[in-house]
Amino acid sequence: MHRKASLVLLALAVFFAALSPLLRWYAFPRLAKIPANEYQTMVLEAKNATLLDYGTMTARTVPKVTVVQTLKGNVQASEKIEKTAGRDVVVWDGLSYIQGPDGKMVSKVPERYIFDAHSQEPVHATGEMVDGDPVRREGIEFKWPFMTEKRDYEYFDAQARTTAPIHYKGTQNFRGVEVYYFEQTIPWTKVPMPRTMPVAGITPETVAKTGTTRWYTTVRKFWVEPLTGAPVYGEEIHKEELRGGSLLGGRAKVTAFAGHVKMREDYIEHTVALVKHNRTLVLLMTSYLPKAFLALGVLLLALALYLEARSRRPAGGPPPARPADRETLTA
């Protein structure tokens, strides 16, 4: 009976010991992915910002500029792309909506971001765009990969439609969460005018005819939770200028927008809580369960060896006499 039990325990020990690395290195990379129907909204604010009054074409200081960023998963589009891509794909339809202190629209820029659900690498397909302009992204945007590393990454800048390094600057603690801090600086770059302008009759085409161009620079900062690859907080020191042309009335340049854009406090709290929850799920598959299965395998192995040793002992009666005992009896 003991021998049969020990064989069963030995089989279970081998099973759980093998399951431990399989769960971490085989199952996790295949199971961890961004859901296709994800929906996120983020509100950021720039207080005491500089904003262009398009009526007078002069820059003025305003109490607050609000940026609402929305990312909505397009399930139908992702399923269509998956048929030819041969992998799990996520399609995010994004919108960056900027409004002034009076609540009126300053600009709105739509995006379609297509990427691999597991690795977050861009997937190039019809419909990939920024503000109606077809683009071919390289590098990440919005989210870092699962198990983010302490290194620089390539990050896509939607304003400039180009990719540039975003640098790892160190490990920090943000509201009880260990995070990696990344920073990217985009130097002054000529960028397209938004297709939707705050004043009726002003379009990118009419502005182009005046010879006026739009320039932009930013310092982009992200605090990223490394296991999930999700930013828990972000900021931008953002500046835009209109330069040259007859639209400025002879002036060389005028500030269109300048401000330190930060996440609103209630969205910080919500994001931190969500990332902590998702971090626990990732730890369950990468640490907690693999370690528990390995410990269980060792325990079952020890129990199996113990039962095997017991099964080899005689069932009853006194133990056999030792050689010294037999010599004494003979004498």
pLDDT tens digits, one per residue of 296-313: 989 988 888 888 777 776
pLDDT, residue 305, reads: 85
Closest CA to 167 of 153, 179, 156, 148: 153
pLDDT, residue 329, reads: 45
- The pTM is what? 0.88
- Does residue 247 lie in a domain region? yes
Mean pLDDT for back-to-back runs of 10 residues, the chain (331 residues): 76 89 89 92 96 89 96 96 93 95 91 95 95 95 95 96 97 97 97 88 87 96 97 96 90 95 96 95 92 92 83 60 52 39
**3-state DSSP assignment of residue 45:** strand
- Residues 6 or more apart whose CB falls under 8 angstroms from that of 50 comprise 59, 60, 61, 62, 255, 257, 258, 259
Whether the Cβ atoms of residue 91 and residue 77 lie closer than 8 Å to each other: yes
Give bridge partners of residue 51 from the DSSP assignment.
60, 257
- Does residue 10 lie in a domain region? no
Number of domains observed in the structure of the chain: 1
- Does residue 320 lie in a domain region? no
- Does residue 281 lie in a domain region? no
Residue 71 structural domain: 32-263
- Does residue 304 lie in a domain region? no
* Residue 188, token pair as written in the block: 């002054």
* Residue 289, token pair as written in the block: 């369960």
pLDDT, residue 324, reads: 53
- Does residue 159 lie in a domain region? yes
Whether the Cβ atoms of residue 157 and residue 135 lie closer than 8 Å to each other: no
- Does residue 302 lie in a domain region? no
Whether the Cβ atoms of residue 109 and residue 131 lie closer than 8 Å to each other: yes
Other C-beta atoms lying within 10 Å of the C-beta of residue 20: 18
* Residue 110, token pair as written in the block: 């739509």
Phi/psi of residue 88, nearest 5 degrees? -70, 125
- Of all helices (H) and strands (E), which one includes residue 112? strand 105-116
- Does residue 106 lie in a domain region? yes
